[in-house]
Structure 1
Amino acid sequence: MRGKKLIVSIVMACFALSLFAGTAAAEKVLKVGIIGPFTGPSAKTGQEFKGSVTMAFEKVNNMVGDYKLEPVWVDSQSDPAKVASAYSEACERIGIQGGVLNWHSSTAVAAMDVAAQYKVPHMFGFGATEVVNQKWRSDPEKYNYWGGKGWPIPGKLMAGYAETIDNAVKSGKFKPKAKNVAIACEDTDWGHSAGDAVAAEFEKKGWTVVSKDYYPITQTDFYPLLGKLKKQNVAVMFSTSTAAPVTSAFIKQTREVGLKSLIIIDGLGWSGDWYKMAGAASDGVLDMIPQLTTQEAKDWAVEFEKRFGMKPSPSAGGLSYDGASFFVKILQRANEKYGKLDKETIHKVIVEEVNTGKLTYAKADGAIIMNEYRYNMDTMPDPVVARDGYFFPVIQYKGGVGKIVYPEDWAEAEFMAP
């Protein structure tokens, strides 16, 4: 009888140990918050985010050490209040230990406070606005949970437009009747930052900014605005929006009203399927986006389209893939250095190694868009903008293909005047 009891006790103990081991194994899950506009006016960008993150995590078999990576999709809905609520829930109820990506500047500003409140490190948010930088530098100890950005402030990139056009005027390729420019952008932190940056760069070159207009992010009727600009004989028209339906509607309507300006639409090519929406109206438009130049990048794009049924853009798709891959490298370093993954160890690696330039992510690591993503305390939270670092060329579209026209030593095609 005593032997039977002993056997039963041993069996129960083994069962308990196996149950405990199973529970312990189940706890080796790292929940990662992915902020993106998965619904709303920029939902196409959200689709590219999902595909890119999925591919980046699968590249390491969804594992870092013995932690399984579990993406938690945080829908910003392109709305600051909604992203704050959704991200708070992800931090508090779902228990994410880190985060990556974000599209809009306005939602980045809102999410920064949530990351700081819950001490959840977040990398590679695309919110480019100066407001993010100002907030970060106002209290680095608080806001360094919002790690290095995936898009620098517009002023660090936008100078290329003014340089391209001013060079074309000097060489005689572009002969405007007057050196004037009009700004028309979405009424968001991004729109204002980009519009102000471009205006400042043109003014440095001796151009006159004749008007600045800002429209709701959901607006698709631009006929009154474009009619006004046509009467002003505007030589250069600059616009930007983070919503693909808006940019495609804008460029189509410029052609319909007969606007003869040289058109810049920053971000026209952010959506992989942009040409399906904009069509031939995009011919001659200037944009500033990275390109899929290497064979690795082109192979990635083919695989992305095959799996998800949509063409990825270098910006929304390619940059988010690199950002998610960089985050995986950060996780690998944290696990290697501290032997565990949680928001504290991830944050330490970001502050001590990423922000100081010790840990970078380059072509040698598998980056497909930029030569190298690196940061230092002089640029934080922006990446280092340089030709061997983070850099956007100016491209001009024809027949749905964008070719580099600036810088001149990178040029693939001659600048086309309107």
Structure 2
Amino acid sequence: MNLFSLKKSGKKIAAVASAVLVLSLTLTGCGTKQTSDPAPQAVEPNSIIKIGVISPFTGPAARTGQEFKDSITMAFSEINNKVGEHPIEFKWIDSESDAEKAARAYESAIVNDKITVGFMDWHSWVSVSCMEVAAKYKMPHFFSYGATDVVNQKYKSDPGKYEYWLGKAWPTPEKLSIGYVKAVEEAINKGLWKPANKKVALFGVDNDWGRGFCAALAEQYKAAGWEVVSTEWVGLGETDFYPLLNKLKGLNVSMVAGTMSDPSSVSSLIKQSKEVGLKSIIASDGLGWVGEWYKLTGDASDYVIDQIPQWTTPEAKKFQADFKAKYGYEPGAAVAGMSYDYSKFMIKVLEATEKDYGSITTENLFKEGKEKVMTGQLTYTDGLLMKEYKYTPETFPDPVIDQDHYMFPVVQYFGGKGSVVWPDAYKNADLKIPNQ
């Protein structure tokens, strides 16, 4: 054997010996046991939780989407965007207020961006569409605002398929709208209002939310002895209501009631109602959804009633002030306030999932939602606006609605401020009637 071969062989022997020594020291130092069974795969302590938030970040309801984004960001920043050892990242999914576009964007977030869980949504018709995506990919989606009864109908038609749509942030329109009729009926019974007639005209944005809301109102007014003389539909983003309002004025109705889905539409309707001289009491559901509604309407909103949460507690008022200081605009209680509350509820779900299952995964979040949230074992009681956010098998996918849990009071606006006129437990003013 030549000198080169000896050197080469010596290097190989040394390398093998060194590798064996390192392996031996490693096994001895770590106390590792030799076993034929594979070691369990530990969850990475810094594994990222990706939350996909659906909201209209562009389009006619973009102002609402901005409040969602800012309030969610504010809530999660309070825990430094981290649950345990898990950093939180957000995928902001722009619905563009369009059901098909939202579904495609949601699917892309699941398939391409690998989100861990879905969260929130504003529009009813978007929720109906995205329910299909969540079912297809078995993606747990928590706390959507989409209130339409179509969501409930789909869930009840096939609970095994649609059980991934885990809890609505808003209940069905019939549960949200009942206060409008009760408030005016109480005023009539107390002699505060003697309407010339019991005729009402309804208006609504022409989609799942508006149709469901107006259908609920119609039944409630009829049950109270009112005549629904007209139901008018408008498009999303519509701002010219002069023909509609002149028609309603000609019908000589005592009340006009309905709902829109975007700030520009509802504020235009209210301003133009004053310009045409409409004397009816207006119930405009959602007028105060965004915080700057009074800047959009001015005193045209005086006498309008709205069923909506308010900044009432010291904690709620502090949040309102902190939000405005941080982002430079006025938040709305129903949008920023409630999405902040539901963000805190979502944080509680994430923490409970890790505690109950040892890791925060898509599958485990679904289990936590189904076994704990749906059954009322996991609730949220530290909210700014409601006493308790809770679901039960009897109410699901809606939350529990009553004065001890979740309820919207009816307020009447004057000078940009809302006074509660219903129910009596929250009331601080009587319903005032414009000159008719």
Tell whether the structures are fold-level matches, with TM greater than 0.5: yes
Alignment match of 1:48 (pick from 67, 74, 84) = 67
1:105 corresponds to: 124
2:421 corresponds to: 405
1:144 corresponds to: 163
Quote how far apart the aligned CAs of 1:27 are.
Answer: 6.0
The one-letter code matched in structure 1 to 2:157 is S
1:240 corresponds to: 259
Indicate if the aligned counterparts of 1:182 and 1:238 stay in contact, CA closer than 8 A: yes
Taking the TM superposition and a 5 Å limit, the aligned residue runs for 1:9-408 are 28-362=47-381, 366-408=382-424
Indicate if the aligned counterparts of 1:100 and 1:323 stay in contact, CA closer than 8 A: no
- Deviation string 1:320-342 (CA, Å, 9 cap, x unpaired) is 11111111111111101111111
- Whole-angstrom CA distance in 2 between matches of 1:127 and 1:154: 10
Indicate if the aligned counterparts of 1:180 and 1:235 stay in contact, CA closer than 8 A: yes
- Whole-angstrom CA distance in 1 between matches of 2:283 and 2:328: 29
2:35 corresponds to: none
Quote how far apart the aligned CAs of 1:25 are.
Answer: 5.5
Percent of aligned pairs with the same amino acid: 46
The one-letter code matched in structure 2 to 1:410 is Y
Indicate if the aligned counterparts of 1:33 and 1:72 stay in contact, CA closer than 8 A: yes
Indicate if the aligned counterparts of 2:166 and 2:374 stay in contact, CA closer than 8 A: yes
Indicate if the aligned counterparts of 1:183 and 1:238 stay in contact, CA closer than 8 A: yes
Indicate if the aligned counterparts of 1:248 and 1:274 stay in contact, CA closer than 8 A: yes
- Deviation string 1:357-391 (CA, Å, 9 cap, x unpaired) is 110011xxx31111101001111100000101110
Quote how far apart the aligned CAs of 1:204 are.
Answer: 0.6
- Deviation string 1:39-89 (CA, Å, 9 cap, x unpaired) is 110101111011111111112221112111111101111100010000000
Indicate if the aligned counterparts of 2:46 and 2:87 stay in contact, CA closer than 8 A: no
- Whole-angstrom CA distance in 1 between matches of 2:277 and 2:318: 40
1:19 corresponds to: none
- Whole-angstrom CA distance in 2 between matches of 1:72 and 1:221: 35
Gaps of 5+ in 1: 15-23
1:20 corresponds to: none
C-alpha RMSD of the superposition: 2.0
- Deviation string 1:229-249 (CA, Å, 9 cap, x unpaired) is 111101100121110010000
Quote how far apart the aligned CAs of 1:291 are.
Answer: 1.1
- Deviation string 1:383-404 (CA, Å, 9 cap, x unpaired) is 0001011100000000000110
Structure 1 segments of 4+ aligned residues over 6 angstroms from their partners? none
1:414 aligns with 2:426: no
- Deviation string 1:272-311 (CA, Å, 9 cap, x unpaired) is 1111101110001000101111111111111111111111
- Whole-angstrom CA distance in 2 between matches of 1:393 and 1:147: 25
1:21 corresponds to: none
- Whole-angstrom CA distance in 1 between matches of 2:175 and 2:278: 29
The one-letter code matched in structure 2 to 1:352 is E
Gaps of 5+ in 2: 1-10, 27-42
Quote how far apart the aligned CAs of 1:172 are.
Answer: 2.0
Provide TM-score, normalisation by structure 1.
0.93
- Whole-angstrom CA distance in 2 between matches of 1:299 and 1:197: 35
Quote how far apart the aligned CAs of 1:6 are.
Answer: 5.6
- Whole-angstrom CA distance in 2 between matches of 1:262 and 1:374: 34
- Whole-angstrom CA distance in 2 between matches of 1:233 and 1:161: 19
- Match of 1:305, SS state, is helix
